[in-house]
Amino acid sequence: MNLSLLFVVMFLVMCGFGIIIPILPFFAENIGATPTELGLLMAVYSLMQLLFSPVWGRLSDRYGRKPFLLLGIIGLTLSFFLFAIANTLSMLFIARIIGGMLSAATMPTATAYVADVTSVEERGKGMGMIGAAIGLGFIFGPAIGGILSKNDLHTPFWLAGCLSLATFLLVLVFLKESLPKEKRTYHPTKRFALSMRKEPVMFLYLLQWFVSFSLAGLEATFAYYAAQRAGLHSVELGYIFMIMGLASAFIQGGLIGKLIRAFGEGKVIQGGIALSAIGFALILLVHNFWTAALYLSVFGIGNGVIRPCLSSLITKQATDGEGSAAGFLSSFDSLGRLVGPPIAGWLFTLTAYLPYVLGIALCSLAFLCYYLFAMKQHSNATR
């Protein structure tokens, strides 16, 4: 019951977040933001997530998951309403800073919540369900935002704010705390430092950084690449990303548990990395709508299975500090999203296919990270 309710909560959270994605560039431009300022507006959110995800995850180990899940949702609510009334660029930056800082609590506490309420055997399936909820939210949210923005760019922000407020009330009233007082960690800083020094786990965090780096680079450049290679425009790209999201959500929500039971998290992670690399290679061959949709879906399926398995493995390693571990994982994810777009964008200006060659290289490094993790873990087990 709790896991099903958390699925609904994360879907609503990400749906609200997704509503503003297609609107934000035009909204900022209307207020007078330059392309550079728009880039900074996007980057400051990731920077806040990078800095604060470990903090909120660590505190959730001490005080429980529910208060910080509520904090993350109310942070999004405030940022959406601030956007809705914003009429200056400084207000947009304030909204993004508040949103990034407070909403950084959402993902690590949701991940730790799953770890609290699932057995070791069912951990990966639970993480996959949350991944599917996030993916579906990102599919439906942008579509709703695009439709609502036709008459007034402020309307999507009001709707996103109201949706987040309703989600806050849903969590407040119905979602039960998952971490009993007797299981809370009262020396989280020490435990967090210890988890950092566990070399096998550190390789998994680096793996997440390479994966999110490659994904962010693709998201930042694919629209330009598809327009050059296949003459695709915004509406067609919206459908392509929707198809990719549905394929990824289907695997995460329906098959990830079976895959993990059959092969284990490690094999699924390796398969996901390999499939992501194949997807990057295929993207170089895009020439029309259908090839773009197919090849991007190959990448999306591969990329989509990695995060749930990583979350499962890492929280299993951190048996009494799941919030700290999940927060640090979110921080590495944010770091990848912070550095990926500018580097991929710069490479695109040199040669259009370079971001995807970089993606293949990053997948190779991610594969190496898993190999080093497995080798180090085996070495520790045989001592």
Give residue 197's pLDDT.
54
pLDDT tens per residue across span 181-240: 877 775 555 555 555 555 688 899 999 999 999 998 898 888 888 888 888 876 687 788
Q: Which residue has the tokens 């959402």?
A: 106
Element at 128 (helix H, strand E): helix 123-148
Taking a C-beta distance cutoff of 8 angstroms, is the pair 109, 56 a contact? yes
Write the single-letter amino acid at 8. V
Q: Supply angle C-alpha 258, 264, 370, rounded to 5.
A: 135
Please give the structure tokens belonging to residue 84. 């809705």
Please give the structure tokens belonging to residue 338. 């912070």
Of the candidates 154, 137, 338, 171, the residue with the CA atom closest to the CA atom of residue 252:
137
Quote the CA–CA distance of 1 and 5 in Å, as a whole number: 6
Q: Which of the residues in the chain have pLDDT under 70?
A: 1, 35, 186-199, 234-235, 318-320, 381, 383
Write the single-letter amino acid at 77. T
Give residue 191's pLDDT.
52
Quote the CA–CA distance of 278 and 364 in Å, as a whole number: 11
Give residue 319's pLDDT.
57
pTM of the model: 0.83
Give residue 383's pLDDT.
65
Give residue 1's pLDDT.
60
Strand, coil or helix: 20: coil
- 187 — phi, psi (to 5°)? -130, 55
Of the candidates 276, 282, 289, 279, the residue with the CA atom closest to the CA atom of residue 238:
289
Quote the CA–CA distance of 381 and 383 in Å, as a whole number: 6
CA 77 to each of CA 52, 73, 123, 168: distance values in angstroms, whole numbers, following the listed order: 18, 6, 30, 9
Taking a C-beta distance cutoff of 8 angstroms, is the pair 377, 199 a contact? no
Quote the CA–CA distance of 162 and 160 in Å, as a whole number: 6
CA dihedral 40, 45, 48, 49 (to 10 degrees): -140
Give residue 171's pLDDT.
93
**Domains of the chain: residue spans and CATH:** 2-174+186-381 (1.20.1250.20)
Write the single-letter amino acid at 238. G
Quote the CA–CA distance of 114 and 198 in Å, as a whole number: 22
Quote the CA–CA distance of 284 and 363 in Å, as a whole number: 16
Quote the CA–CA distance of 12 and 160 in Å, as a whole number: 9
Of the candidates 48, 25, 237, the residue with the CA atom closest to the CA atom of residue 149:
25
Taking a C-beta distance cutoff of 8 angstroms, is the pair 355, 218 a contact? yes
Please give the structure tokens belonging to residue 354. 């370079």
Close Cβ partners of 210 (under 8 Å, ≥ 6 residues apart): 336, 362, 363, 365, 366, 369
Quote the CA–CA distance of 97 and 94 in Å, as a whole number: 5
